[in-house]
Amino acid sequence: MTHLQGREILLGVSGGIACYKGVEVLRGLKRAGAGVSVVMTAHATEFVQPLTFQTLSNRPVGTRQFDLDQESRIGHIRLAEQAELALVAPCTANVVAKLRAGLADDLLSTVLLATTAPIYLALAMNDNMLANPAMEENLEVLRQRGVHIIPPETGFLAEGREAPGRLADPDRIVAAVARHFADSAPGGTLTGRKVLVTAGPTVERIDPVRFITNRSSGRMGYAVAEACRDAGADVLLVSGPTALPKPTGIALSQVTSTEEMRAAVLEHQPAQDALVFAAAVSDYRVRNPAEHKIKRAGRPNLTLELEANPDIAAQAGERKRPGQVLVVFAAESQNLLENAEKKLRSKNADLVVANDITEPGSGFESPNNRVTLLRRGADGAAAPPPESLPLMEKSRVALRIAAVVAELLALAG
């Protein structure tokens, strides 16, 4: 279950060119399982039609303060009271000024004044407006009142130049909302923690054209990195080559070979609170990769001599400091639990995420996974029984892994 599953979010959309990104914010909230009620200002409807938000939210969109149907049920109060969090994305300078002054002259400003839910403002405006002393003062007053500000990014503005003021990436906005609920979840926060996650395959060179690799897409590792980020962690993702987009709000170290991944992991390990090894690392590499392309002519057979790659997880396990949590993955085709338990011990790990790679619809190249979590017993105590999760999306598996990492760190003090 995601931190947004079943949550009630009020999404306010105010008038600006970034309104089209509000649609992506809505989609992100819905994908994460939230129920979303949308309120649009009159100017916002000039950029995007309410029907778009209504179709995606599966709910009526509020646009008028005195809508006869809505107000017969005191609509603005109902919207204010049912919201667990109010998010305005995009939020214009005008909305900021209204909220600071306590004005209630349209449906959105009325709902924001009436709600007791936390308020998040994702700013989007001209750079000069953003830097205006009146705007800076308004934002400071709102911060003192407990309003959360999602600052804009620097990027290409509608004015045709690069400057601060562009609405934050929709994924970053959704992540900020998810983090709010993660921080309030008992034992579910990683706020203030540093987590390193490995992901994807590693690639071992045969010659300048050919290489050895595996079928890993990197989806599981990227999902774990995003789940840890959403739980408040400062995440470093060490990734082999994948076709996945760079996740927002996460430091990315791109590597190719197993040796490059090992060097990156061991360099950063001392500063980490937890390490999650989700990468599918090549166990072997070519002993003597060719400097030039190997020609087929005159070669009816080709023999490659392979040598073992370093065991990154085992080396990290040897260097693990007290209180540091280590998570490894075990992709097995037989004797799943037996092999996973061996890996738990041999890697000095605290948690093993085991999955059967022969199961249809699970594992490599699939958006879904079925895993079993095996933990080490604390302070010599018997280990908890294995926790078998049903087949589910990798993003949901990742949320459970992040929650267990938070629990293990809390136990480690």
**Cβ-Cβ contacts under 8 Å for 342 (sequence gap 6 or more):** none
| Nearest-angstrom CA–CA distance, 41 and 61 | 11
CB burial class (10 A; 0-12, 13-18, 19+) of residue 136?
A: exposed
CB burial class (10 A; 0-12, 13-18, 19+) of residue 232?
A: buried
Tell me phi and psi for residue 71, to 5 degrees.
-75, -15
Tell me phi and psi for residue 162, to 5 degrees.
-85, 125
**Cβ-Cβ contacts under 8 Å for 31 (sequence gap 6 or more):** none
Catalytic residue among 126, 132, 214, 339: 214
DSSP structure string for 98-134:
HHHHT---SHHHHHHHH--S-EEEEE---HHHHH-HH
| HSE-CB of 184 using CA atoms within 13 angstroms | 11
Helix/strand/coil for 378 = helix
| Nearest-angstrom CA–CA distance, 188 and 322 | 21
355 is catalytic: no
Which helix (H) or strand (E) segment holds residue 243: the answer is: none
| Nearest-angstrom CA–CA distance, 56 and 58 | 6
| HSE-CB of 309 using CA atoms within 13 angstroms | 23
Which helix (H) or strand (E) segment holds residue 380: the answer is: none
- 152 with 163: CB under 8 angstroms? no
- 120 with 178: CB under 8 angstroms? no
Residues carrying an active site annotation? 214
